[in-house]
Amino acid sequence: METILHAASFLLDWHILLAALAGVTWGIMGGALPGISPSITMALLLPFTYTMDPTAAIVLLASTYVGAEYGGSVPAILIRTPGTNAAAATVIDGYEMNKQGKAGLALGISLYSGFIGSMFGLIMLIALSGPLALVALNFTPMAYFALGILGLSVIATLSGENLVKGFIAAILGLMIATVGSDPVTGGTRFTFGSSELLGGIEPVMIMVGLFAMSELLMQASKRGSDERVRSRPRIQFPDFKLAKRLIPSQMIGNGIGTFEGVMPGAGGTIASFMSYNEARRWSRHPEEFGKGSPEGIAAPETANNTVAGTALVPLLSFGIPGSNSTAILLGGFLIHGIVPGPMLFQRSGEVVHGLYAGLFTATIGMVIMGILMLPVCIWLVNRPRPYLNAFILALILSGIYSIHNETFDVGLMMAAGVLGFFMRMLRFPFLPTVLGLVLGYLVESNFRRSLVLSGDDYMIFVDDRISLSLLVLAFLFIGGSIAKRLYDTFVRKPETITES
């Protein structure tokens, strides 16, 4: 209750309100552009958050995530092209409704379900994050090291088609994290005489490069779709009777979205498809699915918007980003010197409460901006890709330069873009690299500090109970994933869903 009252006080802060509305607006526009995922939409904003108040910066990024999850459904319904991966399930019935002349109602159901999902996700975030963080208050260097390993173990579920590629991607991130000053002795490593590298490589450069720049390079390497929006629909919300019919599918979306969001690595895409499947299974009208069923839109849209809230639980409580978007959000925290995890609620409680208030505002704002921004989204979707991509490139290069007024940073970001381009081509997942990058320092510094404390006795990691529990959990996580993959390979037909 105290948390809610404290968070409510931020609702009067115009910085927070403005950041939430700006974020959700930017998110809806970014999400509506096919090929621009929520993480890319967020990454484009990262350079701008440097000079902002930390709470407003985090609210801006988190609200972008909320907005993008809805925005992705706009092209999914209008041109059968999901703006985001999580909106892929919405295409099935959304586009069918569009063909039946019900595009406005389909968009209304998506927006209404997104609102329900976001609000439920926020409630679950508030209910789960604080208590989980309390557990982690007594952390020692050994426990922090084990926490880093647990975070890295998420790679096992994020590796897409090939676990080995996931581990390679993670080690690349860990390697990038070793550039700069040594965390124990302070000596320099891999700086090659460059003064710009002395402080290490800032995650923002790598994230913008990996996510946004590499996407532009990919788009330059192939021809995009020229599909246009033919109609100009107006959003139409479901009436009472239809809203009542949607409740079961929304509850399914809420439940699956909560579970998948809290589980690192699962993400909105899996939640959407699972919710769609379960909604069809439990529906009174399963025969309508695939032919323009309103429940077929409500379930996945509720699920992916629930995930936008619950995916923040492992990030805030343990500092573990479970998806690309939360990894970008972690980057936003790190820019301001705030480390999410056990101590976040103690040291930066105002940021957490501001975030809750911002997410609440963003959820309300999503409904308003969702209606107001629809014509803009349609206009954007209809823009020729060459102009749009040229403008995005200009925005990225300007944004990165503006951080330190250094062309070196822009070069570094472009190098990360090239790395990301080849990773995409060779089908290596990104998120393990980002995880390695952001957890590298935590793992190395606490590992070596623990060894100094114990006089090089490795048993210290087993003697510390929290460390032992986290390490066991990490090994179970990795072992379980390997066992599942072996089972899928040798017993069942392979079936993987990857989130890019």
Partner 1 sequence: MFTRDFVGGVATIAIGAVYLYFSYQLRTSALDDSMGPGGLPRIYGWLLVALGSILIMQAALASRTTAVVTASGEEAKGEWEGQGRKVVYAFGLLAIGIAYLFILETFGYLISIALLITTTALYLGAGFSGRLIAIGIGGAVFLYAMFVAILGVRMPAGILAVLGL
User: By the criterion CB under 8 A, which residues form the site for partner 1?
Assistant: 48, 51, 162, 164-165, 167-168, 171-172, 174-175, 178, 182, 184-185, 187, 189-190, 216-223, 384-387, 389-391, 393-395, 397-398, 401-402, 405, 407, 410-411, 414, 417-418, 421-422, 425-428, 444, 447-448, 451-452, 456
Q: Tell me the closest approach of the beta carbon of residue 148 to partner 1, in angstroms.
A: 12
Which token pair is 100? 């039946």
Q: Which is nearer to partner 1, 182 or 488 (CB)?
A: 182
Q: Tell me the closest approach of the beta carbon of residue 197 to partner 1, in angstroms.
A: 13
Location of structure tokens 């060779």: 426
Which token pair is 236? 């139409």
Contact 91, 82 (CB under 8 A): yes
Q: Which is nearer to partner 1, 280 or 424 (CB)?
A: 424
Q: Tell me the closest approach of the beta carbon of residue 477 to partner 1, in angstroms.
A: 19
d(CA 94, CA 189): 53
* Residue 291, number of CB atoms within 10 A of its CB: 14
Q: Which is nearer to partner 1, 379 or 422 (CB)?
A: 422
Residues sharing a CB contact under 8 Å with residue 343, sequence separation 6 or more, in sequence order: 137
Q: Which is nearer to partner 1, 241 or 493 (CB)?
A: 493
Which token pair is 146? 């084990």
Contact 58, 46 (CB under 8 A): no
* Residue 334, number of CB atoms within 10 A of its CB: 18
Alpha-carbon radius of gyration of the chain = 22
Q: Tell me the closest approach of the beta carbon of residue 190 to partner 1, in angstroms.
A: 6
d(CA 251, CA 296): 13
Give CA separation, 211 vs 36, 159, 217, 404, in Å. 9, 16, 10, 20
Q: Which is nearer to partner 1, 157 or 310 (CB)?
A: 157
Q: Which is nearer to partner 1, 234 or 383 (CB)?
A: 383
Query: What angle do the packed helices 431-454 and 163-177 form, to 10 degrees?
Result: 60
Q: Tell me the closest approach of the beta carbon of residue 194 to partner 1, in angstroms.
A: 13
Q: Tell me the closest approach of the beta carbon of residue 254 to partner 1, in angstroms.
A: 38
Q: Tell me the closest approach of the beta carbon of residue 65 to partner 1, in angstroms.
A: 22
SS3 content of the chain, % helix, strand, coil (to 5): 75, 0, 25
Q: Which is nearer to partner 1, 89 or 176 (CB)?
A: 176
Q: Classify residue 239 as exposed, middle or buried by CB count within 10 Å of its CB (0-12, 13-18, 19+).
A: exposed
Q: Which is nearer to partner 1, 189 or 285 (CB)?
A: 189
Q: Tell me the closest approach of the beta carbon of residue 402 to partner 1, in angstroms.
A: 4
